[in-house]
Amino acid sequence: MHSTKPVKLINAAVVVASLGYFVDIYDLLLFGIIRIKSLTSLGLSGAEIDTVGMWLINIQMAGMLVGGIIWGVLGDKRGRLSVLFGSILLYSVANIANGMIGGDNAIAWYMIWRFVAGLGLAGELGAGITLVSEILPKEKRGLGTMIVASVGISGAVVAYFVSEYFGDNWRVCYYIGGALGLALLILRVSVVESGMFSSMKERSVSRGDYLQFFTNRERFFRYLKCILIGLPTWYAVGILMTFSNAFAKAMHVQGDIDPGKAIMICYAALTVGDFASGYISQLMRSRKKVLYIFYTLLLVAVVLYFSAHGISAAAFYTICGLMGFSVGFWAIFVTVAAEQFGTNLRATAATTVPNYARGLLPVISIVFGGLQTSFGLSYLQSGLVTGIICTGLAFVAAFMMKETFGKDLDYVEED
């Protein structure tokens, strides 16, 4: 059996997982923030910037979907630590390479290195949350993952201010991300592997078999529900914040809305929301009840957002902040994914679930567009209906899930 001696809440694993996720989020959102600056300096203009920018985002997302499976399987086969540090190393190298691109094939290299960055970015959060969940005692588990998510999400805010500080010198922003990641690897010496994983290795049990999610009906639906509870986050960030300038224009909001600023405000509030959701979960001794509360808050924020006709830019940004707070259940979302599965599939679940939730953004976009073309809804109506659909699906998935607060995680999934 693994050690039962007391484990402090703030330990090496929590610190490294938190800082690793901080650099992860910094890099994940950095491209979106410096997209126009970087592509303009590489010689693109006008519609080319939008077209190539969308390609680069999609290629990064493809890297994350592929990487989620690879790192998840490796996390259960090789260990949580090897994935935690392997992913940090890969996205740090990719960051530095992104800052060095140039010449005739600059765009091709940009695409290659964004794919590699996506591969690396896919692994850190799942491995970190799994490690923290298994090392901490069950009554402190939610607080540990709350710290990881709250510190991590703030990386988006730092990325915004770093890009503002360095102006057109976008390469420095990438170098900083790479340097932060490499510096973090120095801390690896003090982190120990999960005792649950170490003891499981001694047993003859199938580990990291990704197909096990699809060979058992009950396990498949458990996996699907884990993905669906995260759906509203990417609706809020990927649709409402990313296209906040277009929505604001359609509602005649006074003044110009900057999507970069809207995303930054959203993520700043999301950090607070993550902290609040994790803390409330501990007080209520429930994961599900907290999800219900935050989904309800989100519906209120969505209604306010689409009622913002003619308001000031400051009031609109305030609603973006409320929206960010209301989707601040990322910590709970990934913790639930880790808690729903046995030790031999836990890293695979915790790593693939958030990447599939992110990867559903194109599907949400298709629904958003389809409501306009097929059902004749206006731009604003389709945005509102898409939000109700996403939140409704998440609500049903959470309702049908088993409560996992305080669950003993020292068990395996049988074939």
**Tens place of pLDDT per residue across the chain (415 aa):** 444 566 788 888 898 889 989 998 898 888 878 888 899 999 988 888 878 887 888 888 889 989 999 999 999 998 888 898 899 999 999 999 999 998 889 999 999 999 999 999 999 889 989 999 988 988 888 899 999 988 988 898 899 899 989 988 999 999 999 999 999 888 766 677 777 877 777 777 788 889 999 999 999 999 999 999 999 998 998 889 988 888 999 999 999 998 888 988 999 999 999 999 999 999 999 999 999 999 999 999 999 999 999 999 999 999 999 999 999 998 899 899 999 999 899 999 999 999 898 888 888 888 988 998 888 888 899 999 999 999 999 999 999 999 999 898 888 888 7
Instruction: Kindly give, in sequence order, each residue whose CB lies less than 8 Å from that of residue 194, ignoring residues fewer than 6 positions away.
Output: 2, 79, 80, 130, 131, 134, 135
Residue 136, classed as helix, strand or coil, is coil
Residue 312, classed as helix, strand or coil, is strand
pLDDT value of position 5: 60
212 neighbors 219 (Cβ within 8 angstroms): yes
Residue 254, classed as helix, strand or coil, is strand
pLDDT value of position 4: 52
In 10 A of CB 54, how many CB atoms? 11
Helices (H), 186-287: 195-201, 217-228, 231-235, 244-250, 259-284
Domain spans of the chain, in order of start: 10-189, 231-328+360-403
Can you tell me the distance from the alpha carbon of 386 to that of 137, in angstroms, rounded to the nearest whole number? 39
pLDDT value of position 192: 75
Its pTM surpasses 0.85: yes
Which of 157, 144, 193, 155 has its CA nearest to residue 332? 144
Alpha carbon 39 to chain centroid, angstroms: 25
The CATH code for residues 10-189 is 1.20.1250.20
Can you tell me the distance from the alpha carbon of 286 to that of 108, in angstroms, rounded to the nearest whole number? 48
